[in-house]
Structures are given as C-alpha cells and as structure tokens.
Amino acid sequence: MQILTANRLVDGDVVFLTGNYDWSIEINDASIARDQTEACRLEDIGTKADKSAHVVGCYLVDVVIVEGRIEATHYREIMRTKGPTVRGDLGKQANVYGSGGLRSGQSPLAAQNHHEVQQEFAHVSL
C-alpha cells in the first residue's frame, strides 16, 4: 500500500493527497493505493501537482494500516509525519505530545533536564 506525499510550497509543510484530490497535513486523510494501477494513478497526479506550483517533491510512500490508522513504514517518512524534531513544543508533535514534560512520555527528570538545557542556551539566537 502506498500514499502520495509532497511539501506545500506556501509553508513547506508535509502534505498528503486525499481521496478528494486535495492536500492534507494529516496522514490519515491520505488516499491509499492498494495496487500498482492505483499507485501509478497517484504518481500521475503527483507529476501534475508538481507542475502546478502548489506542492513540490511528490513521491509515493509505503504504508501499513495499524489499528485503523495509516502509518509510514520507513523511518524518514515517520519523522516527516511528526514535524520538526528539534522542538517538542512546536510542529505537529506539540499537538500530540504537549510541550515536553510528562505528556510527552518523558520522565520528570528528563523534563527537568530539558528545561535546564533550554535555560542554558536561551541567549543563543538562531
């Protein structure tokens, strides 16, 4: 099984082609190609979408269905669905895990260390 992914040009966010031929930031909205014919159809749509200048870098991603949810099988794609990994309080992961702390699955000690590191480097501008 495969889905079509790309990056939206307006903001660079990872998007997935839906069954309505629109783009969603949610992987579970993606249209799933269950055979080679459907995968080729998605690739054709991706080629046209790349030319439209709405999205860029369209390609197919291998997926599986786990407990009714779409999950990418490759580590790179798993990370792309979660958003930036440098800040747990920003991006898609903030919506899922909160801003660090206990809701993120961190131990209280790890959360405290995270806070201390943030304070130590607060003066550094990026």
Q: In this predicted model, what pLDDT tens digit does every residue of 92-117 receive, in sequence order?
A: 666 655 544 333 444 444 444 444 44
Q: Quick check: 10 pLDDT over 80?
A: yes
Three-class DSSP category at 19: coil
Between CA 126 and CA 124 the distance in angstroms is 6
Other C-beta atoms within 10 Å of 12: how many?
A: 9
Q: How many CA atoms lie within 13 A of 67 on its CB side?
A: 0
What are the tens digits of pLDDT across the range 13-50? 899 999 999 999 999 999 999 999 999 999 999 999 98
